[in-house]
Structure 1
């Protein structure tokens, strides 16, 4: 921290403070405010006034207090020790805050982001004389049983290795490699690097979407898939299951690392998240899920400025692990609270409000956030991805409000939660008529190669059946279902099989909580085979009342429970049972 004073507080407006006159501060610079050294950031500069937002409660500050310069932007510390940790919005570990300040976060508390005394077993991966550049892996550390942490050269550094340390135990601050930079200067490198949170980490190339993030949730993987490096929004009112959907994706998806950002959520809900994540077992390894998870907690009673920064803190940590070649999934819960923080700060700054009081730059802020997702070819030649799944909390479940509408412009996957489905205990409560995914065609080659050539065609048929059901239900509401012709009654019955047997999932059932893509494909085939055979019977003149006398429809619904995930051979018996049902109906009514 620089010791020189660069300004004197002139005015205070909530988390926003003003310094009168011209100052030497720079835009985006991190500063320390007042005698307690509260963390702040310069957000506006002109010849007559400097405006700073403070990331902590400003109670007790007064005009005349001093503001100290740091000379650097708001940055995060990147080194081994990030995983299995819980941070606040500006990367201060909550466990260390609790030790230093008790149950509540003490203002002005300065704690190291990572443990600087812990020694890590490092394997040095470069040799003297080797030319190195930004992204080059200089050391590998087994950070958790599942994740090897690859300590890299900062992106803006290049040179020739002069000397290296021997393999052994080092703290994150000890020098392990010394290089001669291109300008002839010597630079000592440790396992640590800093990176400003508002600047995307550079990459060589962005790849087009080609591989899905497999979640194990049928409605997501089959109907509305998201690509690795893709973006998705989960909008829904209170109690519709946004957080639980994100939990399921965090636990069961094939992402290597999870970054969960609790942005402005209620304190008791965030506590529940922290406790649950600490207890969850990773189904991939049998180790605690926290071994590949980072949690960022910024509850609704914390300062709004820190809430606004927490999104970028989590994003920068995700990009750092992406640069190592990992696939990272970000769960942002929720971007609505982040937008509300923007609105409050914008009001304090006396900016011209736009729709519903949100700042005019809401759309550009959202786009800048979601655009940092992607499958990337990194500087060191590895391939990694950042997938962003953002929950949106529209007031009164009104999807026409500004945050939801602007989010829809920048995401390619929209998982719309429905209150009526949630109240009917249909989970996940993602409504198939309001949701969409623009990744379906991009991912079609992968699905057809991995899950069968008919996968996308079958998926489209399921969607057509559900759309037909919606149209028919309008008629049923008016005149009842008895007057419908048998082919339309069959459509309603198959749609019921799809809804209950395929779209609805039981998170507490050992086989149904996470379903491999091969079983999803087999279930689809059985449902559509039943539909085709039953339709041929209806075409022959057999009434639906006769077809429904068999229990075959309910048996197909119960496939999700009756067929274990590792016994896909059992689907052959279901095909035979459907043929037997077909033959019996013809024989009885011959």
Structure 2
């Protein structure tokens, strides 16, 4: 290790001198407390260090020790169910050792060093192995089988592998190819380097979330990227938590990046109690939480983003579908802005660094559905959902605009919808998904051949309602012709009976894709019957009083196993009531 000394302290940035042989992104330990920092600029033997802990009390002349190692993570069994801070320190262990407040300079291994895991080999001595090949398994949680893979730079003949109980630091196999290489139960990876893949695949399958407005109108593909911008109080965090709870992924990584402490507290307290909808096991058994709230050091927000995505890539390489929620990338961008200001760099728009767009693009580029490096063409996916917190809900600000350039799904949260208590408050007129058309075949094969047509028809009705609302504000609802009133009735049914969804109701919080189709097709069928009835002179007021109209409103509160029967009864009642109306009108 090469020692240096502190020359100057400026908030989360420290200038150190005397660090001979230092390299970019080396991790250093600063001061008598050994604070963790990372070199982000080098000029001769002077290094600019981004410190991931509170620098209060540091003074010039204190020592700086270079570890000669970039910021890296230990990846292995035990990641799932864990709660980390931005630099992969387990918060539960920190609390046990230092109380409710994190002690500065405290370094704790990310994984339990003493716990023994049952390793089951899938290969035998003498087998030829290549990079990425799975040589054994560990049952990490009842939901996830952890796969031990050959490191990317290792190939050759297995000279030693045996079943047994091992700690994360133990060697479980050895490979010979001129030189001997040991394979451990865990491995290390630098967080700023993306894990390589053989090739990226086209996104053709939706990531089902159980949220009707997302799955039906603005779906994100497995391996896709989505942005969810919105002003304060519009429901970004609740929507992301819903995605984390219900998304059709094997592994969830939830990164609380600079959001308020009470929001992350809710995640930390509710997630351990939640039940996975498919397996009925605790949801935490397939979840990793990374907490770096607004009262934690600013610089560590950047590290938390890279920490989360590195863990996501690790499980993707095992062949799992991973979904990462970043809440929020605006706070990360603010950290970049502060560090850039301390470095006296030329500012870009609104004071953000000129390289903001590149950093965001590099982050979202690490997502995707891919054939990972392995001999058996293993496929994994990493879906990225980033919340954006534009000041005042102004989507023209730099973080929102740069995010929109690189993501293919835009879920625009609307403060006016939130104030009307319409949740999820995603504006159906301004949101979009560039994946929807490419996944048409999946919907036809797995849901219904009429799915695309039903989606398009519903969106057109909502667009027509928006145009009619301008007329209503001028002349009033009563002055509208009856056919237009029928359109507004159908649009209101789509909004209230379909798009509105309660995250706190046990039944309505999650809707299967099959139930979504049944609900939407029933509403649209009622709308068509209403339009035909209006042509025969029946008023929309009379149609609104039908019993079948009330039955439609009950569908979303009905359990999955009872929906088919209720929809069947509703359609039968609709047919009967409209036939009666038509008969009366023809007399």
**2:297 maps to 1:303:** yes
Contact 1:22 1:46 in 2 (8 A): no
Larger deviation, residues 151-160 vs 374-383: 151-160
**2:109 maps to 1:119:** no
Within 2, Cα distance between the matches of 1:22 and 1:267? 37
CA gap of 1:74–1:566, structure 2 versus 1, over 3 A, is farther
CA gap of 1:502–1:134, structure 2 versus 1, over 3 A, is same
Contact 1:101 1:109 in 2 (8 A): no
Question: Of 534, 540, 547, which aligns to 2:536?
Answer: 540
Gaps of 5+ in 2: none
> For residue 222 of structure 2, what is the aligned residue in structure 1?
228
Q: CA deviation at 1:60?
A: 2.1
- For residues 482-501 of structure 1, the aligned pairs below 5 Å read 482-501=478-497
> For residue 44 of structure 1, what is the aligned residue in structure 2?
41
**2:96 maps to 1:99:** yes
**2:461 maps to 1:465:** yes
> For residue 153 of structure 1, what is the aligned residue in structure 2?
150
Contact 2:537 2:585 in 1 (8 A): no
**2:83 maps to 1:89:** no
Q: CA deviation at 1:442?
A: 1.0
Question: Of 287, 295, 301, which aligns to 1:293?
Answer: 287
CA gap of 1:252–1:566, structure 2 versus 1, over 3 A, is farther
Within 2, Cα distance between the matches of 1:96 and 1:548? 59
Residue 255 of structure 2 aligns to a residue whose secondary structure is strand
Contact 1:375 1:384 in 2 (8 A): yes
Within 2, Cα distance between the matches of 1:373 and 1:78? 18
Contact 2:154 2:181 in 1 (8 A): no
Contact 1:458 1:524 in 2 (8 A): yes
> For residue 521 of structure 2, what is the aligned residue in structure 1?
525
Deviations 1:217-239 (CA, angstroms, capped at 9, x unpaired):
11110001010001111111111
> For residue 328 of structure 1, what is the aligned residue in structure 2?
322
Larger deviation, residues 487-496 vs 266-275: 266-275
> For residue 576 of structure 2, what is the aligned residue in structure 1?
580
Deviations 1:289-340 (CA, angstroms, capped at 9, x unpaired):
1111000000111111111110010000000000111101111111111111
Deviations 1:47-105 (CA, angstroms, capped at 9, x unpaired):
36321111111122222222212221101100100000000001010112112222111
- For residues 9-408 of structure 1, the aligned pairs below 5 Å read 9-20=6-17, 23-47=20-44, 49-165=46-162, 167-181=163-177, 184-380=178-374, 381-408=377-404
Within 2, Cα distance between the matches of 1:48 and 1:136? 42
With normalisation by structure 2, the TM-score equals: 0.97
- Runs (4 or more) in structure 1 with deviation over 6 Å come to none
Gaps of 5+ in 1: none
Within 2, Cα distance between the matches of 1:300 and 1:19? 27
Within 2, Cα distance between the matches of 1:64 and 1:559? 70
Within 2, Cα distance between the matches of 1:490 and 1:140? 59
Contact 1:519 1:565 in 2 (8 A): no
Q: CA deviation at 1:21?
A: 6.4
Within 1, Cα distance between the matches of 2:541 and 2:282? 52
CA-atom RMSD, angstroms?
A: 1.4
Contact 2:237 2:327 in 1 (8 A): yes
CA gap of 1:49–1:446, structure 2 versus 1, over 3 A, is same
Residue 176 of structure 2 aligns to a residue whose secondary structure is strand
Deviations 1:388-430 (CA, angstroms, capped at 9, x unpaired):
1111111111111111111111111111111121121111111
Contact 1:55 1:303 in 2 (8 A): yes
